[in-house]
C-alpha cells in the first residue's frame, strides 16, 4: 500500500507555477463532431448522425502543452505543422496560452495532422484522420535541437510526446542526449512502440500496458507477466523508471533500484481515454519538477488521468480540480 502525505502533495502542486517545461513531439488538432443517431441509413447499414455542434481542441503533443498550462506550468514547444489553416489555428491557440512557439517549424509539403471524431450519445461512432506519416527534413530536426540547446538553461524538464508521426527520430533523440548531457533536469517520454529503441538515458517512460507488452514481446495477462515486462524494459537501462498505465487497474511504477509500486485507479466510470496519456505525462512531469518523489508524482498523475477519462473528448484539468480530488481521497 503506497503511503501519500496530503500536505506533501499540495506543496508539490503549489510549485507547478515555478516550472518551465519544453515539449517536443507530434502536433495535432482534434475535431469533435457531436450529434444524435435516430435511424440507420437506407444506403448502407450505418448510423445516420444528426450533427448538433462541433468543437476543436489541441491534440497530440499540444494536448500535453494544454494540460501543463492548465496546471499552471510555463511551456515551450517544438514540433511541426503544415502551411494550412489547421496549422495556423494551432499556433494561434498556443499563442493565446502564452506558450513559446519559437520551436515550431512549418513544412509546406506536410499537412497538419487533424483527427476528427464523430460522437453520438456519448459514444465515438467513427474517427477519420488527415495526415502524412513522413520523416522530417533533417534541417527541421536540427532547428529543434538548436532551439532546445538555446533554451536548456531555463528548463525545469523536457517532455517527449511521441505519436509516431515523424517528429521523433534517431537524429532528434541522439541530439537530445548530446545537448542535455550536462543538464540535470528530467526527461520524460510518452512513447510510441516503434520508436522505443530510440529512447536512451531518460528519466521516465510511460507506456500503457498494451505498448509495454508489445515492446517486451510478452502478453500481459496477470501480475506476474506485468512484473516480467517491467523488469525486462528496465534492464535495458534506457530510463531510470518505467510507469506502466493500466486503465481500470491503475498504474505500476518500476524503479531501477528494484522497487515496484502499484497504484490503484480511481473508482469511476471510464467514458473516453482520449488524451489520458497526455494528462498523465504532464502531471507526472510537473510533480517531479515540483519536488515530489517519483511515487508521489505517479500517484498524482493517476488522480489526474482518472479525472479526464470521465469526460468525453480531449480534456484538461486545473490545480483546483486536483486539490479537490486529493481532499476527497486522502
Domain of 176, CATH number, reads 3.40.1190.20
Residue 191 lies in a domain: yes
Residue 207 lies in a domain: yes
Predicted confidence at residue 143, as pLDDT, reads 97
Range of the domain at 307: 6-35+48-329
Are the C-beta atoms of 218 and 228 separated by less than 8 Å?
yes
Residue 1 lies in a domain: no
Dist. CA 301–CA 321, nearest whole Å: 13
Torsion of CA 127, 129, 134, 139, to 10 degrees: -120
Dist. CA 183–CA 164, nearest whole Å: 26
CA geometry: angle 110, 30, 276, nearest 5 deg: 120
Predicted confidence at residue 2, as pLDDT, reads 65
Residue 314 lies in a domain: yes
Residue 41 lies in a domain: no
Beta bridge partners of residue 80, listed in sequence order = 105
Are the C-beta atoms of 176 and 204 separated by less than 8 Å?
no
Highest mean pLDDT among 183-197, 236-250, 310-324: 183-197
Is 80 exceeded by the pLDDT of residue 101? yes
Is 80 exceeded by the pLDDT of residue 311? no
278 is catalytic: yes
Residue 117 lies in a domain: yes
Dist. CA 95–CA 75, nearest whole Å: 11
Predicted confidence at residue 309, as pLDDT, reads 58
Query: Who contacts 93 (Cβ-Cβ below 8 Å, separation ≥6)?
Result: 58, 62
The 10s digit of each residue's pLDDT in 163-182 is 999 999 999 999 999 999 99
Are the C-beta atoms of 252 and 244 separated by less than 8 Å?
yes
pTM equals 0.92
The C-alpha R_g of the chain, in whole angstroms, comes to: 20
Dist. CA 244–CA 234, nearest whole Å: 11
Highest mean pLDDT among 41-50, 97-106, 255-264, 268-277: 97-106
Q: Could you give the number of structural domains in the chain?
A: 1
Torsional sign, CA 218, 205, 67, 127: negative
3-class SS string, 46-81: CEEEEEEEEEEEEEEHHHHHHHHHHCCCEEEEEEEE
Residue 43 lies in a domain: no
Are the C-beta atoms of 27 and 80 separated by less than 8 Å?
yes
Strands 202-205 and 123-130: unpaired
Catalytic, out of 26, 190, 272, 278 = 278
Amino acid at each position: 500500500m503506497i503511503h501519500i502525505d496530503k500536505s506533501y502533495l499540495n506543496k508539490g502542486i503549489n510549485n507547478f507555477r515555478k516550472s518551465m517545461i519544453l515539449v517536443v513531439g507530434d502536433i495535432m488538432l482534434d475535431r469533435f463532431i457531436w450529434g444524435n443517431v435516430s435511424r440507420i441509413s437506407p444506403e448502407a447499414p450505418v448510423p445516420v448522425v444528426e450533427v448538433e455542434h462541433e468543437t476543436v481542441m489541441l491534440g497530440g503533443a499540444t494536448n500535453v502543452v494544454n494540460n501543463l498550462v492548465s496546471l499552471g506550468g510555463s511551456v515551450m514547444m517544438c514540433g511541426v505543422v503544415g502551411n494550412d489553416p489547421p496549422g495556423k489555428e494551432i499556433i494561434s491557440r498556443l499563442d493565446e496560452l502564452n506558450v513559446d512557439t519559437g520551436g515550431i517549424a512549418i513544412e509546406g509539403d506536410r499537412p497538419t495532422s487533424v483527427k476528427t471524431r464523430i460522437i453520438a450519445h456519448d459514444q465515438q461512432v467513427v474517427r477519420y484522420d488527415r495526415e502524412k506519416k513522413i520523416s522530417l527534413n533533417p534541417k527541421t530536426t536540427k532547428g529543434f535541437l538548436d532551439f532546445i540547446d538555446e533554451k536548456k538553461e531555463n528548463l525545469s524538464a523536457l517532455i517527449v510526446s511521441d505519436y509516431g508521426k515523424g517528429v521523433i527520430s534517431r537524429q532528434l533523440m541522439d541530439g537530445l542526449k548530446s545537448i542535455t548531457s550536462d543538464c540535470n533536469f528530467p526527461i520524460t517520454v510518452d512513447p510510441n512502440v516503434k520508436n522505443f529503441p530510440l529512447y536512451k538515458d531518460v528519466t521516465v517512460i510511460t507506456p500503457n500496458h498494451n505498448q509495454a507488452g508489445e515492446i517486451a514481446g510478452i502478453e500481459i495477462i496477470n501480475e506476474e507477466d506485468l512484473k516480467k515486462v517491467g523488469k525486462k524494459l528496465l534492464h535495458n537501462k534506457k530510463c531510470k523508471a518505467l510507469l506502466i498505465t493500466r486503465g481500470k487497474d491503475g498504474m505500476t511504477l518500476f524503479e531501477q533500484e528494484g522497487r515496484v509500486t502499484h497504484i490503484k485507479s480511481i473508482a469511476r466510470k471510464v467514458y473516453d481515454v482520449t488524451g489520458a496519456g497526455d494528462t498523465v505525462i504532464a502531471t507526472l512531469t510537473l510533480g517531479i519538477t515540483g519536488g515530489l518523489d517519483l511515487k508521489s508524482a505517479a500517484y498524482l498523475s493517476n488522480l489526474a488521468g482518472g479525472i479526464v477519462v470521465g469526460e468525453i473528448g480531449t480534456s484538461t484539468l486545473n490545480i483546483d480540480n486536483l486539490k479537490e480530488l486529493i481532499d476527497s481521497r486522502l
